[in-house]
């Protein structure tokens, strides 16, 4: 498998990881469907969660796209991004309290909640090293492409990464929600919910460390 393919699979895997975690919102889709007694509310809620998540991915990835325009600093940017991800992981490792402002978001505004939850937990940041890695493979393939073309291709990759990740997240989270709603019942919720706070912090550190290793 090429590096690029492996990195794209990492984008998909992180999407599934975010999707199946109840903390990222799929139980809210079950709740919406049961409250409204309507299956379509489940899909609407999953859609709102996806929209918020996609926006959060974009909000994190695009600033890096802009930074990559300064092509000669690509290497430094990758190191800085890796350090940032490791830093967030370390912080979340020691500070496992969830931000209280998230509890102020009304249940009717799922997209906003999903956006804020993804931002607060560094879900977007986790993708940055992977994204930069993919950009590097393209860059190497293209050789010394014109700045304009490079910018376009890195922007396209950012869109691609955000979309593929969110699609994987939405499908896996949606399947969980649908399965619980139609077959498993809500007992499954407390049975399938694991405290991933520590694993989450460690995954950030791991992703950052691999990226740092590759950059150096």
Partner 1 sequence: MNLRPDPTFHATPKLAMEAPPETLAFTLMLSPDGSRPDGLAVVDVNPKSDTYGQIVHQVIMPNTGDEFHHFGWNACSSSLSPLSGHAFLERRYLIIPGIRSSRIYIIDVKEPLKAKIHKIIEPEEVFAKTGYSRPHTIHCGPEGIYVSTLGGGGVDGTDGPPGIFIMDCETFEILGRYEMDRGSQDKHYDFWWNLPRDYMISSEWGLPPQFENGIVAEDLLANKYGHSIHFWNLRQRKNVQTIDLGENYQMALEIRPAHDPSKDYGFCGVVIDTTNLQGAIFTWWQKDDGTFEAKKTITIDPRPEKAENLPPLLKGFEAVPPLVTDIDLSLDDKYLYVACWGLGEMHQYDVTDPMNPKLTGKVELGGIARGTKHPNGKTFAYAPQMVEISRDGKRVYWTNSLYSTWDDQFYPDDEGGQMVMAHVGEDGGLTLAEDFFVEFPQGYRSHQIRLEGGDCSTDSFCYPSV
Among 4, 9, 12, 23, binds partner 1 (CB under 8 A): 23
Q: Among candidates 212, 192, 211, 154, which has minimal Cα distance to 10?
A: 211
Among 5, 73, 96, 152, binds partner 1 (CB under 8 A): 96
Residue 109, SS3 per DSSP: coil
Of residues 28 and 128, the one with the C-beta less far from partner 1:
28
Packing angle of the helix pair 123-142, 3-20 (nearest 10 deg): 160
Among 5, 35, 66, 147, binds partner 1 (CB under 8 A): 35
Q: Which segments within the chain are labelled E, that is strand?
A: none
Report the alpha-carbon distance of residue 125 to residue 33 in Å, rounded. Answer: 31
Positions in 175-204 near partner 1 (CB under 8 A): 186-187, 189-190, 193-195, 197
Minimum separation from the CB atom of position 17 to partner 1 (A):
15
Report the alpha-carbon distance of residue 172 to residue 18 in Å, rounded. Answer: 9
Query: Is 108 a residue that touches partner 1 (CB under 8 A)?
Result: yes
Report the alpha-carbon distance of residue 49 to residue 206 in Å, rounded. Answer: 26
Query: Is 144 a residue that touches partner 1 (CB under 8 A)?
Result: no
Query: Is 72 a residue that touches partner 1 (CB under 8 A)?
Result: no
Report the alpha-carbon distance of residue 77 to residue 62 in Å, rounded. Answer: 13
**Which residues in this chain contact partner 1 in the complex, by CB under 8 A?**
22-28, 30-31, 34-35, 37, 96-100, 102-108, 113, 117, 186-187, 189-190, 193-195, 197
């Amino acid at each position: 498998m090429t590096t690029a393919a492996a990195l794209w699979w990492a984008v998909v895997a992180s999407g599934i990881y975010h999707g199946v975690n109840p903390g990222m919102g799929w139980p809210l889709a079950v709740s919406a469907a049961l409250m409204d007694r309507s299956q379509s509310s489940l899909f609407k809620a999953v859609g709102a969660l996806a929209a918020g998540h996609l926006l959060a991915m974009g909000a994190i990835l695009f600033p890096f796209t802009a930074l990559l325009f300064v092509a000669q600093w690509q290497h430094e940017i990758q190191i800085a991004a890796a350090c940032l991800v490791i830093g967030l992981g370390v912080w979340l490792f020691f500070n496992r309290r969830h931000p209280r402002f998230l509890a102020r978001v009304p249940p009717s505004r799922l997209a906003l909640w999903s956006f804020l939850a993804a931002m607060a937990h560094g879900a977007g940041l986790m993708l940055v090293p992977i994204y930069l890695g993919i950009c590097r493979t393209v860059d190497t393939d293209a050789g010394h492409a014109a700045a304009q073309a490079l910018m376009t291709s890195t922007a396209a990759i950012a869109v691609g990464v955000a979309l593929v990740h969110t699609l994987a997240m939405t499908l896996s989270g949606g399947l969980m929600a649908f399965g619980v709603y139609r077959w498993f019942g809500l007992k499954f919720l407390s049975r399938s919910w694991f405290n991933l706070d520590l694993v989450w912090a460690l995954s950030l550190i791991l992703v950052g460390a691999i990226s740092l290793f590759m950059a150096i």
